[in-house]
Structure 1
């Protein structure tokens, strides 16, 4: 269709359309990488300003499109993913205002823009994304009303009336929405596959390389929330166990695939343990964490031979897990030969100075493994420092750390300590996870952030099995030079980085959202129905119940819409009831017949009551159409009392 066939946009309608498109684009921009989000936001504002008076030429739009495509692939690579698709959508919407000319283009812009907030649910399903998406949808309804008024050539009514109309439209659809949320059968798996992200989210992994944890340790967002039922562990016991790494190639620690199939190890736990529930934030893996050491795997997870938990499905959405843990008294006291071999593996011809030092300590200590461990911890306490400002290591990474830099963070300490123990003949492995956490005063639960990621060591001792050793904790306090908390506080290093009161309250709201909305699964649905007397509703029963309530909601919606806007006028309703009384006598008003003409016809047929009807019709016309200043209250009573 030719652009000239559609009415042009007036400045007010254009402003509303562009503002609505910007509001719809905002939640998607907030979820993209910061560089892309900021760049696309500035590009959208520039395009809207340049195209305010007239559309931009096609070659300029093509150039902007190519530039944004190049930015997306430079930031995310050529691998397709959910975030790549969302970034391309944001790029196209940022350019769309360049071709907005008339009312048809404005409606097209709004239609495409509404894809953005709901595409954001592919990346985040939090309350902020939902609030912004709803705000964009409601604003789009307001803008569509203004565009309809502009197309009809009438002056738009006050904003208050537009808001009231939009609220009524939302109220009509709300019952059907709630029925679908509460009663539609919950599926265990989605009906279609959703591609993974092109850019992985920071989180625990089954590999650890030099410098690979800095992004994770710089992220202060929650990784998990824990609610304890009964006793709580002390700070020295808050080690949240994740993947266990066994193999070392001189640079990277990994977990061999064959270890995942081992049965759980022989474990004897202490009598006093902890009963708790954890809520995990979405991640791009299946790694569960639990307090060291879980008694058993919860439903939907598997407990590995090294004490790590793995979920059966990817943790792409918030999930809740009920667990019990207790400190180990004996953890695999008998080590199988193949595991011992793996726990002593070292790459050949790497870190010669570390190997020589370990042999020297072994000769001096004889068969006393605990003496070697104590000597290594004492050395760490006396001469090593904690800092995040460390260069990437060379070929002999452990030699450089132990004999040159003697400074690093948990990744360096755990790796070097494990190599040193293995070189001394003590089986050892690296355990990754989180440590610590803080209690949110609003909900009384514990928050563990991603920046609490930690790596420690487990050494195997005869008669006791695997024993936790944290070499990072052995660093003397006066030699902790550079931490994430100090960096966040600025050069002065005043307050540690943690959520303040407002942040605690926001996290409590997010936890409630995860619980009430995102956590409403099939089990919660059945529990809700049990309160209504349905002990175990089958999918067919759920569909029947949903269909019944949906039919009622749609019927109510149709009934309300059929009444129309004018049916809400009490004066008009009273006048039509009066007309139905005369219909019984064969003197009803024809649909196109004016009120006064009808009253005159009735007065000619029935002079007695017709004269009273004529007077009432004159008063009705004056009150309804001439906007007479008199109140219609008395008129309403007279219309209700009049009888033919």
Structure 2
């Protein structure tokens, strides 16, 4: 006899559960890809669901739809393959998968396919929100699969509520939780991964080894954290918080860049002052190797190195959250002797650019003689007297420095630092551009400092005889009354009232995120080896850690086996209630023997306790009929068995 295909058709209720599960699984992935693309994929999912609700879409239409979403992904991401491109393609495929979902088998396939989404989201973000959404999607998937199984077996009642299924899933999670925790806390971790994580097609926000004035607005409008810093002792004043990043030497008339080979040169000698800042930074992933440190770090931490100009670099790409313990001191002297090759590079300018700037610098040199410090002071006085700060600036032309210094006289840190260094070099003062972050916000909840991407900053260093490289920040020289347009203004940062409450909420949220980073993301091999320090054990070597994991894992497996075996024996709630009834009589010495039929046991109890005969014998008869004779309609039997007491 041919199978009836209608029996496998999915009902509307199960379809809604399946689609809701797929949407919940897709959500954490959509939050990690570009907003425009995520909106398009979400809209496509809604459209596909509406068009295929009554019957599957035709194959040719599904093919055209697949080509359309592929074109949308590659138009947004470009033909650059990486983690984010692959995740976007996965999200697009899940969005159009409901177009062929009409049977129970299709629903199971959609759920299994959709569960790849939350796990893929961890390739792009490992924050608590991604984890929470991932766990919710897995729980929802288990509940939905239970419902589909009930539909297929014919045991799903129209009035069935999801709470019993959710309770059953909760029990399964509880059974497996001890093993999962032992895997996380005790399974031996390697100090370095066995394989690398693929690069991203779209770069994360962060500092680069090149800078073009006018092109930092996207970075400066990003208020997400770049790093968090905890000080062990007194922190520096906010105006001293210059987080040193890439040092840029070469100028082509428009852009500044850093020669990669200079990273390999040994760090130059520094004469430090007595004050020292001891701190730890928690650096957000950027997929680059560039780190930052307070100006200037005394030494590179393990896993990093210092370049000649005291840029700090990681030995491996920063594709995950990392922690670095550092010490820094403000320099008293920094590379007092400048060799001829370095001097030539620090004075180099492209020929034929910015003639007005070059002429002014040469005039200042003739008037100042050999006094380089006087030229620096004269430039800063000029900035304070005539220049303003604004983000609303036109893109520079061929002679961008001339346009800024003599025509616009308004800009932000890129314009100030670039033009200042060109002016100094034209006057014969060795100078270079330094990029990084400036300042930070203290979070009162955890007593640490948050440095955001919007704190990105560029300043200058000039070389002065007897002192070496000296930091000069021409942007800070702008008079307060000529600060017209800032990032805070554009982001609508309020003062007092609602703005203060939002700042408090943001601080609490970041403190929670930092706790997550410390508890979960920061639990590496080194911390695992120190896991039992509170109990007097300094370190766990590989052998002892493996033995400890084996003990806990075997205990967890034994727990799982016992619960599963117990549940297998008493899966029927009616049988569980009957066994518990027998246990209550067993406390009186009248327990049922394994070989004893229900009615025989009830009659034996009645002879010993006549007062139980009127209730126990009818209950036993009803149980035997329901259990062995297939009787139906006795809905009160389960409750009667639970309520009966000897």
Give the TM-score normalised by structure 2: 0.91
Check 1:442–1:3 CA distance in 2 against 1; reply closer, same or farther (3 A cut): farther
Q: Are the counterparts in 2 of residues 332 and 466 from structure 1 also a CA contact under 8 Å?
A: yes
- Could you tell me which runs of 5 or more consecutive residues in structure 1 were left unpaired when the two chains were aligned: 638-644
Please state how far the C-alpha of 1:566 moved relative to its aligned partner.
3.7
Instruction: Work out which of the residue numbers 544, 547, 552 in structure 2 matches 1:544.
Output: 547
| Residue 506 (structure 1) shift | 0.6
CA distance in 1, matches of 2:12, 2:244: 60
Q: Is the 8 A contact 1:222 1:449 kept in 2?
A: yes
Question: Is structure 2 residue 247 aligned with structure 1 residue 240?
Answer: no
The question of whether the paired residues in 1 share the 8 Å contact of 2:582 and 2:592 is answered with no
Tell me what 1:556 maps to.
Answer: 559
Match of 2:232 in 1: 229
Say whether the 8 Å CA contact 2:306–2:313 is kept in structure 1.
yes
Distance 1:354 1:493 in 2: 44
Which residue, 595, 602, 608 being the options, matches 1:588?
595
| Contact 1:414-1:471 at 8 Å conserved across structures | yes
- Name the SS for the 2:200 alignment partner: coil
Partners of 1:41 and 1:300 in 2: CA distance: 42
Q: Deviations over 1:377-409 (max 9, x none)?
A: 111122222121222222222122212222211
Give 2:301's match in structure 1, choosing from 287, 292, 298.
298
Is the aligned partner of 1:179 residue 2:182? yes
Shift of 1:238: 1.0
Deviation of 1:582 (Å)? 11
Report the equivalent of 1:360: 363
**Kept after mapping to 2: 8 A contact 1:247/1:345:** yes
Q: CA deviation at 1:159?
A: 2.5
Contact 1:434 1:453 in 2 (8 A): yes
CA contact (8 A) 1:486 1:495 kept: no
Q: Are the equivalent residues in 2 in contact too, given 1:6–1:103 (CA < 8 A)?
A: no
Corresponding residue number in structure 1 for 2:255 = 252
Find the aligned partners of 1:397 and 1:160 in 2 and give their Cα distance. 67
CA distance in structure 2 between the partners assigned to 1:155 and 1:630 by the alignment: 21
Deviation at 1:595, TM superposition (A): 3.3
1:477 aligns with 480
For 1:584 and 1:473, locate their aligned partners in 2 and report how far apart those are by CA, in whole Å. Answer: 89
3-state SS of 2:93 partner:
helix
Alignment partner of 2:582 out of 559, 575, 586: 575
SS at the partner of 1:528? coil
Q: What is the DSSP-based 3-state SS (H/G/I as helix, E as strand, rest coil) of the residue aligned with 1:446?
A: strand
CA spacing shift, 1:615–1:479, aligned 2, 3 Å: closer
User: Which residue in the other structure is 1:424 paired with?
Assistant: 427
Match for residue 287 of structure 2? 284
Q: Structure 2 matches for 1:57-456, cutoff 5 A?
A: 57-156=58-157, 157-456=160-459
Cα distance change, pair 137–458 in 1 and its aligned pair in 2 (3 A): same
Q: What secondary structure is seen at the aligned counterpart in 1 of 2:208?
A: coil
Indicate how the Cα distance of structure 1 residues 110 and 6 shifts in structure 2: closer, same or farther if over 3 A, else same. farther
Divergent runs of 4+, >2 A: 1-6, 154-160, 188-194, 490-499, 529-545, 565-571, 573-579, 581-585, 606-637
Assess if the C-alpha contact under 8 Å between 1:620 and 1:635 holds in 2: no
CA shift for structure 1 position 86 = 0.2
After superposition, the Cα gap between the structure-2 partners of 1:249 and 1:11, relative to the gap in structure 1 and judged at 3 Å, is same
Shift of 1:572: 1.5
Distance 2:493 2:504 in 1: 20
1:613: Cα distance to partner? 9.4
Cα distance, 1:480–1:349 mapped onto 2, change above 3 Å: same
Q: Is 1:226–1:279's contact at 8 Å kept on the other side of the alignment? A: yes
- Displacement, 1:302? 0.7
CA distance in 2, matches of 1:146, 1:618: 35
The worse-fitting range, judged by mean Cα deviation, of 474-483 and 212-221 is: 474-483
Q: Residue 56 of structure 1 corresponds to which residue in structure 2?
A: 57
Asked if the contact 1:287/1:309 (under 8 Å) is kept, the reply is yes
In the alignment, is the contact (CA less than 8 A) between 1:246 and 1:256 conserved in 2? Answer: yes
CA distance in 2, matches of 1:210, 1:621: 90
Contact residue 599 and residue 614 of structure 1 kept, 8 A: no
The structure-2 alpha-carbon separation of the partners of 1:275 and 1:630, relative to structure 1 and needing over 3 Å to count, comes to closer
CA distance in 2, matches of 1:544, 1:137: 31
Q: Label 1:542 to 1:607 Cα distance change in 2 as closer, same or farther (>3 A).
A: closer
What is the CA RMSD across the aligned residues, in angstroms?
Answer: 3.1
Summarize deviations over 1:403-434 as a string: whole Å, max 9, x none.
Answer: 22222111111111001101111000110000
Cα deviations by residue, 1:92-128 (Å, 9 ceiling, x for unpaired): 0000111110111111111111110110000000000
CA distance in 2, matches of 1:146, 1:360: 84
Structure 2: segments with no counterpart, 5+ residues: 627-633
**Residues 420-479 of structure 1 deviation map (CA, whole Å, 9 limit, x = unaligned):** 101111000110000011111211111111000000000000000010000111112222
Tell me the CA shift for residue 488 of structure 1.
1.6
Change (3 A) 1:363 1:493: farther
- Alpha-carbon offset, residue 288 of structure 1: 1.2
Quick check: 2:390–2:410 contact (8 Å CA) kept in 1?
A: yes
Q: TM-score, normalised by structure 1?
A: 0.91
Is 2:221–2:491's contact at 8 Å kept on the other side of the alignment?
A: no
Residues 633, 314 of structure 1: CA spacing in aligned structure 2 closer, same or farther, 3 A cutoff? closer
Does the residue aligned with 1:329 lie in a helix, a strand or coil? strand
1:348-398 Cα deviation digits (max 9, x unpaired): 222122111111110011111111111111111222221212222222221
Listed one character per residue, the Cα deviations across residues 136-161 of structure 1 (whole Å, up to 9, x for unaligned) are 01111111111111112223433222
Q: Structure 2 CA distance, aligned partners of 1:544 and 1:176?
A: 15
Query: What's the offset of the Cα at 1:619?
Result: 2.7
Determine the C-alpha separation between the residues in 2 that align with 1:215 and 1:347: 28
Does the 8 Å CA contact 2:583/2:591 hold for their aligned counterparts?
no
Q: CA deviation at 1:172?
A: 0.7
Asked if 1 retains the 8 angstrom alpha-carbon contact of 2:606 and 2:613, the reply is no
Aligned residues: 628
- Larger CA deviation: 380-389 vs 493-502: 493-502
Report whether the alignment pairs 1:27 with 2:24.
no
Shift in Å at residue 616 of structure 1? 4.4
Other-structure match for 1:640: none
* Per-residue CA distance 1:70-89 (angstroms, 9 max, x = gap): 11111111111000000000
Q: Distance in 1 between matches of 2:68 and 2:313?
A: 42
**Counterpart of 2:170 in 1: which secondary structure?**
helix
Displacement of 1:290 in angstroms is 1.0
Question: Residues 253-291 of structure 1, C-alpha deviation per residue, up to 9 Å, x if partnerless?
Answer: 111122112212111111012111111111121111111
**3-state secondary structure, aligned to 1:380:** helix
